[in-house]
Each structure stands twice: as C-alpha cells, then as structure tokens.
Copies of this chain bind each other. A is one copy, B any other.
C-alpha cells in the first residue's frame, strides 16, 4: 500500500481532518497500528479503549465525531459513514484480487471421460474427477482434490487442495471448501451382533447448499438414508465434525472443533462457538447461540443463549457459577450457625431448667 491521506479520503469518500500529504504504507488493526499505518474505529467502546492509538490515519465512524473531539489523537482522521466497510474497501483497492487463472482442464489432472466440466472451470494438476461427475461453470478444483463418482457441483465453486468428496455428493453454487476437508464419508453407525460391531450401510448422501463455506480438515458424513444437509449461507470453521443425517439450517455459524452427533437439526442463524458438542437428535432453534465448550443434551429454544455442560440459559449458568463461588463462604456460615444453634440449645436447656427452678421457687 502506498497512499497519501488525501488519496485515501478520495477512495473512501470521507471527510479529511489533518495533513492530506501524510503517506501511509500499511493497514493494521487498531491495537498495533504505527504512524505509517491506517486503521479504523467503528464504535464508541473501541474509541474509548484506544485514546493512545498511534495510527497515521484513522477512519472513524462519523456518528462518533462528538466523542473524537474530546480526545487528542496524533492521527489524521477521515470521517466516514461505515468505518469497517470503508477500511475493507480501501484494502480491496490496494490489493486487487488476483485474476483467476483460466487454463481449463490441466493435462496433468485425471478427469473421467464421463465427467461433465462447465465453461471457465479449472481442474488443477493432480486433481481426480471420477465417472459421472458434473461440475458447473467458473469453478476451481485445486491440486490433489478427489471428486467421487456422480457428484454434482454448481457454478463458481472453489475446492481447495486435497479435499475429498466421496461419491454422489451435491454441492450448490459459490461454495468454498478449504484444504483437506472430507465430505461424505460413511456415518459412524454400528449394530452389535454376536459381540461384534457390524457396519450399518449408509445409502444416503450430503447436500451442501449455495454460499456455504467449509473450513480446513472438517468432516461431514453422509446420511444413512436421505441426506446430511448444510443450509444456504452457513459457514463452518476448521476441524468441525458433522455426523450423519444432520440437517443444518441457513446462515448458521459453527466455529472450530464443534462436533454435531447424528441427526442434529437447526433453524437459521444458529451460532455454535468453539468446541461445542451437540448430542444426537437435538434441535437448535432459530437464532440460538451456544457458548464455547457447551455440551448440549437437549433442544435449545429459538433465540436463546445457552452455555455450560450441560448447556443451560446463560443467565442461569451465570447465577449458578456465582452461587458456586459462594460455597466456601456458605460452609463457613453453616459452621457458625451450627455453633450458635448448639449454644442456643444449651441455653434453652439451662433456661428451661432455670425457668422450672424459677417456677418452682415462685410456686
């Protein structure tokens, strides 16, 4: 990157305050920006926490202008309507996306004569496309990818190196699958017969809908019958396990190392944070959020935030956690009370005697 503050203001259509000739050579997050960097602030909270920011140029949300005046930034400031979007726009301008190569089917790829490959699609060297596969237009099937028999892949799909698709998988449009993920291995299902675990055959498949993105080293197993489904626009991180017959809704977010047991279903806009595990046949209601490391044995209602093992509403979990911290104090109180009660019991016994005595005397 090599822009003056003035050039940047022009690119982001912002209002410049400060030296328009200042030269910026890099972009960084607000935490470690230096005087030759541009960075951005898009919330009052971030603004408060970064009064000493050293960035050369700062893109700041214009509705924060009042708060900025109270602070002495050393930076040139450019006010914009949406600071994060402007920052991303600047980065895109500075880093024009590399043109997709356009070589078609590499002579070093292995493509079955019965496969159909769409226009503008690249099959990289060392990729294997098996019999009966259909791939749409403008896809990139990278080095070492294996696409099993009869898979059907849409348009504008990117499959990164060494990904494996077992046979008969369906992939929508604009799907991205990162390196070494495995889609469509047999589900983990056995039947104990005469002391041996006998495989239950998996006749089903996997369907990945449009605009899904799948991380690296993630596994999505095929269904016993029907299909394991990842709904439109859902995003799955690295090292996630999705077992047979799960049916995931639209626009879900599953963070790294999440594990879903068999036949889990979810509504739309569900979020599972890192290391969350969901038991089989559980339903995650639309818009629910599972905190990291939660273990989820039962259905989660729509819109709720659950956390813990077993997962419970976050307010309950917090209350229980607070209460747990009080246990040592409670033990002390209990001991104290016990002593007092013993003392009172002793007094009561004495006092009764005294009373009796008194009564006696009085009588």
B275 touching A277, Cβ below 8 Å: yes
Interface residue stretch chosen among A11-19, A72-80, A185-193: A185-193
A327 within 8 A of B: yes
Interface residue stretch chosen among A2-10, A52-60, A133-141, A176-184: A176-184
Interface size on A, residues (CB 8 A): 109
| Chain B residue nearest in CB terms to A356 | B354
Shortest CB-to-CB span from A122 to chain B, Å, is: 13
- The answer for the CA separation of A188 and B128 in the assembled complex, in Å, is 28
Shortest CB-to-CB span from A219 to chain B, Å, is: 4
Contact of A340 among B245, B345, B363 (CB under 8 A): B345
Q: Which of chain B's residues have a CB closer than 8 A to the CB of A179? A: 146, 164, 166, 182, 185
Shortest CB-to-CB span from A143 to chain B, Å, is: 5
Interface residue stretch chosen among A61-69, A113-121, A298-306, A330-338: A330-338
- The answer for the CA separation of A126 and B256 in the assembled complex, in Å, is 30
Known contacts being A162-B164, A182-B180, A261-B255, is A331 close to B330, with CB within 8 Å? yes
- The answer for the CA separation of A186 and B177 in the assembled complex, in Å, is 11
B108 touching A235, Cβ below 8 Å: no
B225 touching A28, Cβ below 8 Å: yes
Q: Which of chain B's residues have a CB closer than 8 A to the CB of A333? A: 334, 338
B275 touching A256, Cβ below 8 Å: no
A348 touching B351, Cβ below 8 Å: yes
List A275-331 residues whose CB lies under 8 Å from chain B: 275, 277, 279, 292-293, 295, 308-310, 319-321, 323-328, 330-331
Known contacts being A179-B185, A216-B219, is A203 close to B84, with CB within 8 Å? no
Oligomer: number of copies:
3
Q: Which of chain B's residues have a CB closer than 8 A to the CB of A182? A: 178-180, 216-217, 238
List A81-104 residues whose CB lies under 8 Å from chain B: 84, 88, 91-92, 95
A251 within 8 A of B: yes
B108 touching A126, Cβ below 8 Å: no
- The answer for the CA separation of A216 and B108 in the assembled complex, in Å, is 27
A279 touching B292, Cβ below 8 Å: yes
A27 within 8 A of B: yes
A162 touching B188, Cβ below 8 Å: no
- The answer for the CA separation of A261 and B293 in the assembled complex, in Å, is 12
Contact of A215 among B185, B235, B355 (CB under 8 A): B185
Name 15 interchain pairs, CB-CB below 8 A, sorted by A: A88-B200, A144-B164, A161-B164, A162-B162, A180-B217, A182-B217, A188-B235, A241-B256, A261-B274, A293-B309, A320-B328, A324-B327, A334-B334, A337-B338, A344-B344
